[in-house]
Amino acid sequence: MKKILVPTDFSPIANKALDVAVNIARYNGATIELLNVTVYPVQDINTYYSLYGASGVSIDDAWKNVLTEAKTELDELIAKYEDVRINALVDESSDRFIDSVLNHKADLIVMGSNGAEGFKEFFGGSNSEEIVRMASCPVLVVKGHKETFEPKKVVFTVDFTHEQFLRKAMYHLPFKDAELHFLYVDTALKVVNYAEIKEKLQEMADRLKLSNCKFVIREATTVDAGILDYVEEIDADLVVMYTHGRTGISHFFRGSIAEDVVNHASVPVFTFVEN
């Protein structure tokens, strides 16, 4: 892994994501690109005039000041981490924040999220949800409940159709001495042979040369509910899963289990889009 992208709006949860990215960069020897997307207020000219109009400052000069302040804040954040190479990037955009993030190529995106609920989730969802769906690289979504990112209990959600996301997680993240929980959620949509499932889980762990593993089968009405309940039960530190990255009408009607988990989990979630 060479490059980690960390989008920031300078909020506490974004700063926490940077802390996590720094830990991973130390582990992998990667470079971090710390990105602030500053959206030009095309739709908010009235706000500009209420703030700057009376002072005689032109909107162009006011905008330059905004960009300069963003670069200064980035530099102040970077100064805290002298042992990791971090590049400051300010994107001047009139488009969506998400598009600007996705236009930057990286091996891993690390970003903070407080999730989304209610009407916000139904109509728009969180930024992290859409980035998880659209990104072509793995995404680690950091939540605010854990003080440090030192995964000791990691939940891998499996359905035996995808394994590459497990290898990606092993490659990107520090799992030293972690207890690995392989979770299969039974939603009663098909007949499940529990003995056969556990045998498959063991075979998968053997192929990946993993030890210190637990194999768990849980019954639940939905896969995401089964994952979230198990994560809470064992007080997990991280969830690892893949997503189909659905878009358009397919996503609207079927949704994504990974996106639901990202929005509602209280711990970080590592996702990888598999085609």
pLDDT tens track for 144-181: 766 778 899 999 988 776 777 787 788 788 887 899 99
Would 126 be classed as within a structural domain? no
Answer yes or no: is 204 within a domain. yes
Report residue 183: phi and psi, to 5°. -110, 125
pLDDT score, position 114? 80
What average pLDDT score do residues 16-36 get?
93
Looking at the fold, whether 253 and 195 belong to one and the same domain comes out as yes
Q: Is residue 32 part of a domain?
A: yes
Tell whether 158 is covered by a domain.
Answer: yes
- Work out whether strand 238-243 and strand 139-142 pair parallel, antiparallel, or are unpaired: unpaired
Residue 62 maps to a domain: yes
Lowest-confidence range among 1-15, 21-35, 201-215? Answer: 201-215
Closest CA to 17 of 170, 148, 105: 148
Same domain, 154 and 88: no
Using one digit for the tens of pLDDT, what is the confidence trace for 31-66?
Answer: 999 998 877 665 455 565 566 565 666 667 777 777
Confidence of residue 254 (pLDDT cuts 50, 70, 90): very low
Q: Are residues 159 and 232 in the same domain?
A: yes
Q: Where are the beta strands (DSSP E) in 12-62?
A: 31-39
DSSP bridge pairs for 4 = 32, 108
| Top mean-pLDDT range of 4-13, 34-43, 93-102 | 4-13
Q: Is residue 181 within 8 Å of residue 229, measured between CB atoms?
A: no
Residue 134 lies in a domain: no
Q: What is the mean pLDDT of the chain?
A: 81
- pTM here is 0.84
Q: Are 166 and 156 in contact (CB under 8 A)?
A: yes
Domain count for the chain:
2
Q: What is the CATH number of the domain that holds 189?
A: 3.40.50.620
Q: Which domain holds residue 24?
A: 3-112
